[in-house]
Amino acid sequence: MEIPGSSFPGAKDARAFEQQAEVRTFTTEPLTEPVEWTGRVYAELFLSSTAPDTDVIVRVSDVYPDGRSILIVDYPWRLRYRNGFDHEELMTPGEVYPLTFPVGWISQIFAAGHRIRVTIASTGAPLYEPNPQNGKPLTLEFPDDAITATNSVHHSSKHASRIFIEGKTE
């Protein structure tokens, strides 16, 4: 996946990113009435990978009736730090891991007729630092022995991945 630039792209149309083959999008039906999201957005995901380390990025967009998908907030997470930045924990390929992390703060009213879109990907260089996914110590130079990971987001009754607003129970 690729996200061009060197800083948060801001309120731009995110369709070019969302249409990449490796990106997964989840979009509501058109809203029948306005919906407000105010607070801190969290991703609670259940992930597995073929690699010992990988990244995940979660993005929230407001999809206009004309199809534009305007990015509101996003955040990447490196899974070796899923249980804290004070230590690294590599993954066992194929095992499902729970991951909860803040995506960002939001105060947005999604208008009637609009859709809410959540996009999940394995980050996006060059905006975000690429992950060699080999589980070795990270270095400034990208290594020659980087590996390709196939990541899965699980969404079943046993592994109910979701997005939520802190403190909101609806």
- For 169, how many CA atoms within 13 A lie in the half-sphere containing its CB? 0
Dig out the tokens for 139 from the structure. 């270095």
Check whether 34 has a pLDDT greater than 70.
yes
Angstrom distance (rounded) from CA 73 to CA 70: 10
pLDDT digits (tens, 9 = 90+) for 133-145: 888 888 778 888 8
pLDDT digits (tens, 9 = 90+) for 90-113: 999 999 999 999 999 999 999 999
Total-model pTM: 0.87
Angstrom distance (rounded) from CA 134 to CA 146: 6
Write down the domain spans for the chain. Answer: 2-165
Q: Which fold has domain 2-165?
A: Jelly Rolls (2.60.120)
Looking at per-residue pLDDT, the higher value among 117 and 133 belongs to: 117
Q: What is the residue whose two structure tokens read 């630092």? A: 129
